[in-house]
Amino acid sequence: MKVSRASKPVGVVLVDKPAGPSSFALVAELRRRTGARTGHAGTLDPFATGLLVLLSGGATSLAPCFVGLDKRYITDVDLTSTTSTGDPEGEILERHESPSREELDAVLARLRGEVELPIPAASAVKIGGERAYRLARRGVVVEMPVRRSQVHALDVSAYMGDSVRLELHVGSGTYVRSIAEALGGHCTMLRRTAVGPFAVEEADPERLTAIADARVRLPDDAVGRVPNAVWERALALEAERSA
């Protein structure tokens, strides 16, 4: 089996992303350091922090196993205004009185379970062949499609009247900014604390986790998202590195 240099090292890298840089900047940083092809299992907005799962070398072929995992977040929501992006980087669109705790709880109850929420305008979804965030930057107003999302848990950990801190456990593809907008507010802080079985406390950008070790932690349905032959090739590449 001919192996390209970009196929190794093989493994999973857990990174605690700081606020500011894009997720792609951290992907590029790992690629420069290792010389291997590098991918990700889901990005975070520049203002957000928390867990990024990066895939190195032959592990990039296993991306479908990681992309579909549930996510956990903590977010602070300003309940008194909405912004063009659903986060602090956008322009304020509207200011209003914050809801009472009873009103807030009533809306939260409707946002649990399987829900349909509009995709934020400042997202990477393509509208007419162009990324939505590029249209938004030019001031082009479009009707954003809705996405069916699974919200397993949506709990209040602190309520401050004008703002609220929420802890969320959601299915893949759920936009936390959409939940904030459904509350009449916008995210002022967003932190991803877990991706499937991987927690942000494990993050170490210098450590390459073996895909064999990562595999035993993945749920069976996630492992089955790629054919066995793909797993076998990735594991063979990994074995060559450690031999």
Catalytic residues: 45
Tokens coding 18: 């700081």
Residues 77, 162: contact at Cβ < 8 Å? no
Residues 104, 183: contact at Cβ < 8 Å? yes
Q: Which amino acid is at 142?
A: V
CB-CB neighbours of 159 under 10 Å = 15
What are the backbone dihedrals phi and psi of residue 62, each rounded to the nearest 5 degrees, phi first? -95, 10
Kindly give the pairing relationship between strand 113-118 and strand 146-159: antiparallel
Tokens coding 109: 């109850």
